[in-house]
Structure 1
């Protein structure tokens, strides 16, 4: 199997020069003692990708999270475990019911694998794994409640873990109904508010013997995040500094710019557009010649749409490209960049 591109080192390491996708696969290292007797063996899988996105979370420290939609599901209903802020260089997903152990695997899926989802020992027949990594659970039962863990496999052979606690409302527990629980609970009213609306953070089951209570933003122990304190005994209210700065909590996005990586000068046939923005948790839209970009079979978007690859490029791709980033509060569009007119 020696191709002339390998170098062996005294510490056992093996260098592979100028790897191709044909080099991908399992590699096994076997060790022997001085007498030539076999000692041990270890196997690993080498991933070789044809292309890696160089935008989005590759350059940030934000971690992926999972949201249960709805937050609490009634027994017999459906729930989606949504993945937020995924990395750009995703190789695949592995879902676990409980801790990350083989017997707890629900489903495994590799992004570039043509095969269908591979179901694990914890698969119940009611799960659906979407291409974005989100897991749909149909007709949930009480046994479905509990911890779910997601392992996101990256193309650099690393991985990231995130988890979510699924709550299922049964006729016995009724944990989704704050009026039937003895625990202190908070529910926003309305649950999903639009900007500009009023929201009540409704408290349920507050014990009568409570002498005082206080509201805080984020961490309880940070005094600068104190909003208000109410003393039942004296019927007094004291407002904190967070009460006066509440209107500065929302941040507008900054204007992005587009970077072009044109590989045609080196004999290639592709071009990559990258939308550069310092903002996170934003939506990205591509504009071509003042219209929404219509994707063709030659175009590929990165998972968060910050990268646009056209391979192969053609004369009809020449024109002006812009990207727009937006969140719930604002949007900004980059200055246009031209490609193809000079060719």
Structure 2
């Protein structure tokens, strides 16, 4: 299971409802069960004991949930929840992937020429310091409907219009987003004149 979370937020990393026959659960960072123990929860005694890598930001709850406080980029990774029955047998192992994302910064839109003659071409470039985000284009505050004269690069950062027509005149914006935030550039106006 994958979980997306914003940086400096809270992440509920693992949740599993207890079955009455379970006695313990252990929460680990990564896949190595014998190492990287965050905490062990003993159901019989209703007690949580911190493990060697417990930083003080983690809280383990009776239902098997792990709460991470003040999440940072370093918390990105795999977390393992292992449940153990009263006979000491492992009942289940659940692996969760935590993805921590920074808030995106507002992109900047660059245009090759703000005034273009009909039948010429123009390129608009969405500039953002983020590489792993989604890019979306707006035209006059609406989602841009691509025509056969418009092309986007694979990354969707560059919009090219060739040839330009009168109806292409207006305000263009690009939106950058990731699973936890999005920002839109200021509008750039394209003027189209008859050649």
Question: What TM-score, normalized to structure 1?
Answer: 0.33
Q: 1:289 and 1:240 mapped to 2: Cα distance?
A: 49
1:261 correspondence with 2:112: yes
Aligned to 1:295: 146
Q: 2:27 and 2:147 mapped to 1: Cα distance?
A: 58
Distance 1:213 1:324, change over 3 A: closer
Contact 1:324 1:333 in 2 (8 A): yes
Question: 1:329 aligned to 157, 163, 180, which one?
Answer: 180
Distance 1:214 1:328, change over 3 A: closer
Map of 1:1-343 to 2, 5 A cutoff? 191-193=1-3, 198-200=12-14, 215=29, 228=38, 237-238=51-52, 239-240=54-55, 243=58, 246-249=70-73, 250-262=101-113, 269-340=120-191
Report the Cα offset of residue 200 of structure 1.
2.2
Contact 1:263 1:270 in 2 (8 A): no
Report the Cα offset of residue 276 of structure 1.
0.5
Distance 1:265 1:193, change over 3 A: closer
Q: 1:197 and 1:246 mapped to 2: Cα distance?
A: 9
Report the Cα offset of residue 282 of structure 1.
1.1
Aligned to 1:58: none
Aligned to 1:116: none
Q: 1:336 and 1:266 mapped to 2: Cα distance?
A: 20
Question: What TM-score, normalized to structure 2?
Answer: 0.54
Gaps of 5+ in 2: 17-25, 41-48, 59-67, 74-100
Q: 1:236 and 1:262 mapped to 2: Cα distance?
A: 61
Gaps of 5+ in 1: 1-190, 203-211, 218-225
Aligned to 2:63: none
Contact 1:322 1:336 in 2 (8 A): yes
- Greater strand fraction, Structure 1 or Structure 2: 2
Q: 2:123 and 2:103 mapped to 1: Cα distance?
A: 27
Contact 1:227 1:240 in 2 (8 A): no
Find the structure with the greater CA-based Rg.
Answer: 1
Aligned to 2:96: none
Distance 1:213 1:193, change over 3 A: closer
Distance 1:229 1:260, change over 3 A: same
Please give the secondary structure, in 2, of the residue aligned with 1:255: coil
